[in-house]
Amino acid sequence: MANTKTSTMSFYPNQDTFLIAVDCIIFGFKDNKISLLAQPRFLEPFKNGLSLLGGFVKENESVEQAASSVLSRLTGLENIYMEQVGMYGALERDPGDRVVSCAFYALIDIESQDEQLLEEHKAFWINIDRANELIFDHPRMVADAIKLLRQKAAIQAVGFNLLPEKFTLSQLQALYEAIYYQVFDIRNFRKKMLSMDFLEKLNEMDKSGSKKGAYYYRFRDEKVQNDQYPSRF
């Protein structure tokens, strides 16, 4: 506990202070699988262990800013949808030192991100089923993030952040099947998706996936859904 200091000249003297980290679960969608960015840890403890992308919060930035800057440093992307997963504050979560961490998840289009930057930071995509190889309590963070993502996807058009701007309904279905880890009936899926009016059909086809070709769709972002709860009584 070497770096748990005590505050002095302050409104709140004689209180302990802590290192605060942010850890980012950066989801992408590739080969019909949900993946996330990981990185070999570059210092002890667990040097070279598989780690989420993170960093320490600095004095002059908010916790959210710290998370965004991790994300943009690693992917080159700005203004990405991020959501707080929660705070992880167990005593021994980091055997190196007492560190309290705040986890965020982000959804990015895997294609629009900067390969170069990833390589510079030795970061790479791993499949979510490898999340339990991560160090510290990172596996738990990922599990919590997936839970939130599923909840969110059930009521909001969240998945569009993970796809390129133009996508086919088959891609969209594959994405939802990856998120929920289950298969959906193609007719029911399309019916439901089209009945919510998120989607705009384009006059353009993707001929890469089939001979016949599939129409591209695009997300109407005017149609951002409000929060809602499942109906009850």
Partner DNA sequence: ACAAAAGTGTTAAGCATACACCCATGG
Partner DNA sequence: CCATGGGTGTATGCTTAACACTTTTGT
Is the bond preceding residue 45 a cis peptide, omega within 30 degrees? yes
Report how far apart, in Å, the C-alpha atoms of 101 and of each of 26, 86, 95 are: 16, 8, 13
208 binds, options its own copies, DNA, none, Cβ within 5 to 8 A by partner type: none
For residue 190, the surrounding DSSP H or E stretch is: helix 186-195
CB 141 within 8 A of CB 103: yes
Which SS3 state, helix, strand or coil, does residue 126 take? strand
Please report how close the Cβ of residue 9 comes to its own copies at its closest, in angstroms: 4
209 binds, options DNA, its own copies, none, Cβ within 5 to 8 A by partner type: DNA
For DNA, which is the closer residue by CB, 13 or 212?
A: 212
Q: Sort residue 222 into left (φ over 0), alpha (ψ -120 to 50) or beta.
A: alpha
133 binds, options its own copies, DNA, none, Cβ within 5 to 8 A by partner type: none
233 binds its own copies (CB under 8 A): yes
Please report how close the Cβ of residue 95 comes to its own copies at its closest, in angstroms: 9
φ/ψ of 218, rounded to 5, equals -140, 150
For its own copies, which is the closer residue by CB, 8 or 225?
A: 8
For DNA, which is the closer residue by CB, 188 or 226?
A: 188
Tell me the window of 18-26, 32-40, 88-96, 225-233 that interacts with DNA (CB under 7 A): 225-233
228 binds DNA (CB under 7 A): no
147 binds, options its own copies, DNA, none, Cβ within 5 to 8 A by partner type: its own copies
For its own copies, which is the closer residue by CB, 89 or 213?
A: 89
Distance CA 78, CA 75 (A): 9
Distance CA 163, CA 172 (A): 8
**Strand 99-107 relative to strand 167-168: parallel, antiparallel, unpaired?**
unpaired
226 binds, options DNA, its own copies, none, Cβ within 5 to 8 A by partner type: none
Tell me the window of 56-64, 68-76, 140-148, 181-189 that interacts with DNA (CB under 7 A): 181-189
Distance CA 85, CA 140 (A): 11
43 binds its own copies (CB under 8 A): yes
Question: Segment 172-191, which members bind its own copies (CB under 8 A)?
Answer: 176, 180, 184-185, 188-189
